[in-house]
Amino acid sequence: MSSMKRFGVCLIALISLFAVVYQPAQGYKLHPRDVYHKAWELVRDTYYDPTFHGQNWTSWEHKYDGDIKTVADAHKSIKVMLESLKDPYTRFLDPLSFRDENDAINAKIVGIGINLVQKGDRLVVTKTIANSPAQNAGMKEKDEIVAIDGHSAIGLTPEQAAERIRGKAGSSVQIAVRRGENPAAKAFDITRAEIIIHAVSYKVLDSNIGYIQLSTFISNDAAREFKIALEKLSRTDGLIIDLRDNPGGLLSNSLEIADMLLDGGVIVSTEGRLGKAIDRASGNPLTHQPIAVIVDDESASASEILAGALKDNQRGVIIGTHTYGKGLVQEINHLPGGSAVHITVSRYLTPSGVDINKIGVQPDIMVSDKAQQDNVAIAYLKEKIASLKGRTNTISLSH
């Protein structure tokens, strides 16, 4: 089966996972126990480790039958059951979290356009999306959110804060932040809006080197946006692909993007309960420009698949630090009532057969200083471009 056909199957499968809703038989009233049982059944049938981390999975099937009275009981029991696998990637998503994930895949959200991280009991802004309501109002990276609509935000998780910030497009929310060493809080009145999330940004650097920043693989538009960037940068002499801080996303995106860059060869292989599958490049790349890929310890999952494919096929040089080390593939399964479970269904290996889980992809050129990684990538490409031009001139003179 060709790689491009495989991409289609993967994409259809992913869409189906979101479209299929578990429905009880007509006339049968769904009991919260059925939600729990469906989750148990999905793990039984698809989890990649047939030993279920060395336990008898059957023992969980009816473990909470007498305790589950409400949907909240079912959700709590599912979480406990999944935690027994000691796999942080096999996890439960409540309806709100599942909706947020779907929004990210559809590349559209309604909000103010910030990313948050929890540091102790503090909520810190790690990014404001370009042209978002938050950025236009004046919020900045490193702002600490101290209040939302007049209520303290101290101690809130990013998820809890997102629930308070979320609302209808056109409605407003007041965010109070503390900035730098200034103890006084600054308040912003921000009008919520629909925000389109772009996975790719690009530009031309000095020396005619193209730069593509790929921030996520979760959006359905990521591969399409990357293709557009390649087309816009087709006249540059070399390419930097920046995967720093990219947490990954859809497997299909990493396969499609790798196929745009590789002359051939294996992209990735996956091993699960049903055996081993190998994805190969079609051999019809969109570019032959020399490539430098910049990664860091936050480059994970699909980022590592792309970096590993380019490295092992000697298509690009990897610069930076070792990547995160997430070598497991999850499937998203919808549960009754709008919740979902992520289930690890396989592990993946790079083209050379390396299992990078908990290890990461090792760079060809180790550069710890983030500020220097771009300079090293540019220097490498300049040398590579000069070498290729010199070779072309030599061949031309010999004829």
Query: Among 77, 312, 339, 346, which one carries the catalytic annotation?
Result: 312
Query: Among 143, 221, 326, 374, which one carries the catalytic annotation?
Result: 326
Query: Among 132, 254, 301, 303, which one carries the catalytic annotation?
Result: 301
Is 234 catalytic? The answer is no
Tokens of 100: 């947020």
Is 254 catalytic? The answer is no
Q: Report d(CA 132, CA 262) in Å as an integer.
A: 35
Contact indicator for 399, 354 with CB cutoff of 8 Å: no
Is 312 catalytic? The answer is yes
* Residues annotated as part of the active site: 301, 312, 326
